[in-house]
Chains A and B, each alone.
Chain A
């Protein structure tokens, strides 16, 4: 039986709890230092398959700004983040856009949508 201790910093909220996980044969068997259940969920995932939220921008035409900020609806596998950003670089959308509007459905087949994190009105014509 392989037992190891691993120090983790929870990134779920800005509190940043310093946690210590006991890992037995690749699985978390004990966790100390977390102050809520979300910390436990984060630690379990971080040990098995780390995930991260993704925030980036896509190009927008006819908008008040040149870019539209976007966010993943839920977290994505950490190892695929750069590939997702690459995918977003190919996207151009047309204003107006509503907050929460889906910009990419099921990005790279990972089962997660990318949505607009703000509304973007169409540029006013002078």
Chain B
């Protein structure tokens, strides 16, 4: 294999594969995708449920089905190489990628541009500090998903799930189908953090109770989990004394959030955003370091893989054009700031040409809202506004800004919610 590339992509999940295809479509001649797992596809391979791809492929697919579509796109293209079983250890400032592979040993690969698509990982028990014993039987929902869907093990027979994120809800149904009794799903927030459709088809269909504003205050068991003590929490998420009750179980699954996997980004000293835990990117998904792009869950955790692919295609396109020296001209840089009601917005900065550029903002609200107006302003100028009948923290909001509107941007952009009178 060659040692220098137009574009090297770190991570062969949906973001990496979509980025590779887009880089190819945009003329990059030497593209390499590096994946640490034994096959491409990323976490989709263990997400065997359906519901993927309606936006991106215009059909409803399972996770492996979506991964397969992505792999078909890059197959038989001499311009795209893939390396599986390969772990990237470091990316240096001069865009050298240091990686190890069991057959090839230590590799040093050079790139004109790099796209970071490492995805995210799960928060663990340690991250949320659940008190109690330290018995076996406490798993992250994703680890349990891999066991049940790929390896052929059932983690337990009687489970309590902490957190109502989508993986937790999906696993509540999956464990039920495989003969495990799911006693309850507990959510510390006063609202669910999963998609509404998953509450219906994963919990209600299987008569699994969802306790909002509840959390685990103690895990019991010396060798194996024997049960949990649950309590109601107040509005500051503190357990309320006197509300405790016990649930007997042998397994606790945690679906308590995802963290973008950014060790390599930090090694590169990229500017990071504390709220998304991902690198700061512009609308082309270029990070604070020229030639280093990022897309997908490594930038901010998505709820739909379709949006991951969309974002990765943007990164792939601009990485390819940059590698070919096809992007010229002065760019105007502005920051995107969030105001009332909006917790995060990606991109966090814009690099706009004179004639403007069509782009999309991806936002999350801080708390559930109804009938609010989303306003994008630059100074005193209203750029775009949109009425949102509903907005939930678990569902990312996408807003289009056409080029003729972005042309009007003079200073920093602000996105905020305005409550209807």
Binding site for B on A (CB under 8 A): 9-14, 16, 18, 52-53, 55-57, 59, 64-67, 69, 71, 78, 81-82, 85, 99, 117-119
**Is B50 engaged at the interface, CB distance under 8 Å to the other chain?**
yes
Bound: A119/B201 CA distance, A? 27
Determine whether the beta carbon of A69 is less than 8 Å from that of B62: yes
B9 CB to closest chain A CB (Å) equals 22
Bound: A10/B390 CA distance, A? 15
The 8 Å CB contact of A14, one of B149, B151, B195, is B195
Determine whether the beta carbon of A67 is less than 8 Å from that of B151: yes
Determine whether the beta carbon of B197 is less than 8 Å from that of A56: no
The 8 Å CB contact of A52, one of B45, B149, B205, is B205
The 8 Å CB contact of A13, one of B45, B51, B152, is B51
> Given A14-B51, A71-B65, A99-B64, 4 more contacts at CB 8 Å?
A11-B200, A55-B50, A67-B151, A71-B50
The residues of B that contact A16 with a CB separation of less than 8 Å are 195-197, 200, 395
Closest residue of chain B to A85 (Cβ to Cβ) is: B177
The residues of A that contact B195 with a CB separation of less than 8 Å are 14, 16
**Is B54 engaged at the interface, CB distance under 8 Å to the other chain?**
yes
Q: Assuming A56-B177, A69-B64, A118-B64, is B197 touching A10 (CB within 8 A)?
A: yes
Bound: A12/B50 CA distance, A? 10
The 8 Å CB contact of A55, one of B62, B197, B199, B303, is B62
Determine whether the beta carbon of A11 is less than 8 Å from that of B150: no
The 8 Å CB contact of A69, one of B149, B178, B304, B390, is B149
Binding site for A on B (CB under 8 A): 38-39, 45, 48-51, 54, 60, 62-65, 67-68, 148-152, 177-178, 195-197, 199-201, 205, 303-304, 390, 395
Q: Can you list 23 A-B pairs, Cβ within 8 angstroms, ordered by A? A: A10-B197, A12-B197, A13-B54, A14-B51, A14-B197, A16-B200, A16-B395, A52-B205, A53-B60, A55-B49, A55-B50, A55-B62, A57-B148, A57-B149, A64-B38, A65-B151, A67-B149, A67-B150, A67-B151, A69-B149, A78-B205, A85-B177, A85-B178
Report which residue of A12, A118, A119 has the largest number of chain B beta carbons within 10 angstroms of its beta carbon: A118
The 3 closest A-B pairs by CB, nearest first: A118-B64, A16-B196, A69-B48
Bound: A10/B54 CA distance, A? 14
Determine whether the beta carbon of A119 is less than 8 Å from that of B68: yes
The residues of B that contact A52 with a CB separation of less than 8 Å are 201, 205
Q: Assuming A9-B197, A118-B68, is B152 touching A67 (CB within 8 A)?
A: yes
B51 CB to closest chain A CB (Å) equals 6
Determine whether the beta carbon of A66 is less than 8 Å from that of B62: no
Determine whether the beta carbon of B197 is less than 8 Å from that of A59: no
The residues of A that contact B201 with a CB separation of less than 8 Å are 11, 52
Closest residue of chain B to A8 (Cβ to Cβ) is: B200
The 8 Å CB contact of B48, one of A12, A55, A66, A78, is A55
